[in-house]
Amino acid sequence: MNVQILFTLLFLAAAVGLVLFKALYNWIYYFPSRAENEVIPYLRSVDMENVKDLLNMSQEGYLRLNLSPDSFRLEQRHRITLTLEYYSRMAHNTGLLAEWANTEFRKSWKTGNREANTTSKELLNICIEFRVHTWLMRMRLHAWLFRIRALPFISIPLLAEARRIGSFDLVYSYEQIKQAAEKLSRACGSACQQELAQGM
């Protein structure tokens, strides 16, 4: 058998396996209907001030100037890993919020709550956009970790560049998501806005 055909078959098998795994995962863990009180206990805390510090160009420049190249390379690995952790938490939280927004959107058609309808649609759209960009950025950060570890002779990437993809600012977008979630909570007549904000 031709090597090219073998690689194509392996790639197709891996793709089908991944799709099946994702479908099985969603079947087990996805909630088609999730209320706000079912979101809050699952939220993962994100220290936004720490995220901003990690992605701060001037702080990174200070470290680059004041550490030896080897020390800076190690420090940058730690910083990239921590950024990955924060982005994973943010993606997790926005996934939960998207499920809740979807539930409230469907419910608003029955109740006729226009504000909840508009706000839930806004939150859902922003969450989907954020999750796509976060996934892309996490792939980039994994590639950077590989580059730092496997190719020590190549320049160390700037972590400050991990804040944006094009014009999309991940930090600003996450703060918008928090505000939209609080707004949806108010529109639904809930008193959990503070718990929601603290959980994120």
Q: Tell me, what's the pLDDT at 31?
A: 66
* pLDDT tier for residue 152 given thresholds of 50, 70 and 90: confident
Predicted local distance difference test score (pLDDT) of residue 66: 92
Identify which has the larger pLDDT, 41 or 193.
Answer: 41
pLDDT digits 0-9 by tens, 179-196: 999 999 988 877 677 788
Task: State yes or no: pLDDT of 165 exceeds 90.
Answer: yes
**CA-CA-CA-CA torsion sign (187, 192, 194, 197):** negative
Looking at every residue in the chain, the average pLDDT score rounds to: 89
Q: Is the pLDDT of residue 132 over 80?
A: yes
Residue count (the chain): 200
Q: What is the reported pTM?
A: 0.83
pLDDT at 3 over 80: no
Half-sphere exposure for 10 (CA within 13 Å, toward CB)? 7
Nearest CA-CA partner of 42 in 88, 6, 93, 78: 93
For the chain, domain boundaries: 1-30, 34-199
Distances (CA, A) of 4 to 1, 7, 11, 138: 9, 5, 11, 30
Residue 197: the pLDDT is: 77
